[in-house]
Structure 1
């Protein structure tokens, strides 16, 4: 389960932000998870809840924004949300696509207790 290593990295980013802002703790963590990121939201929640004990995130809520896959057709320049894993342009039926969102996980925001 690679979600544990993802949460370890996430905790490092959070602790760095806490130090930079002289905060005491974190009350909310917001992440955006792309549907093609390979991260399972329910497993990420379990990993976060496990790792947050006795840290600055001990009482933090984890909010997950699930990002749809967004593609751009390189032939007709149409941008669209990929539905049902159909990687084909709905306008021109081209397979010549570039994925522009939905492949990554981002730390979007933190609510810090100063």
Structure 2
């Protein structure tokens, strides 16, 4: 169940950003999840709900932006959608092992509110 490890790392990174930017509340955590990551969405959400309890992330929303798996064809110089079993270029019908997207797992954005004290005392660039 690697979803638990993923959420553990996400919450650790969020915690670091809470401290660095003086956030008092986290409203949204947005993850980019590639098709080929083998992440089970329901398990990821369950792990998030369980691990966020009692933290500043407890009432935040976990948003998953799905990233389509694509490959690049060396012959046609085109990028095209793929699946686990189909990696043939639709234009020239040649196999491509140049996977461009689909394995990403990215913490894209954290949205929240900074505390008044931090807003008045720190400059953010």
Work out whether the TM-score is over 0.5.
yes
Task: Give structure 1 regions of 4+ aligned residues with deviation exceeding 6 angstroms.
Answer: none
TM-score (norm 1): 0.93
Partner of 1:77: 77
Shift of 1:81: 1.3
- Which deviations, in whole Å up to 9, do the C-alpha atoms of 1:10-65 show, x marking residues without a partner? 11111111111011121111111111012111111111001000111011011111
Quote the RMSD (CA, aligned, Å).
1.3
Aligned length: 114
8 Å CA contact 1:35–1:67 kept in 2: the answer is: yes
Could you say which structure has the higher helix fraction? 2
8 Å CA contact 1:28–1:112 kept in 2: the answer is: yes
Q: Which has the larger radius of gyration?
A: 2
Task: Tell me whether 1:60 sits opposite 2:60 in the alignment.
Answer: yes
TM-score (norm 2): 0.85
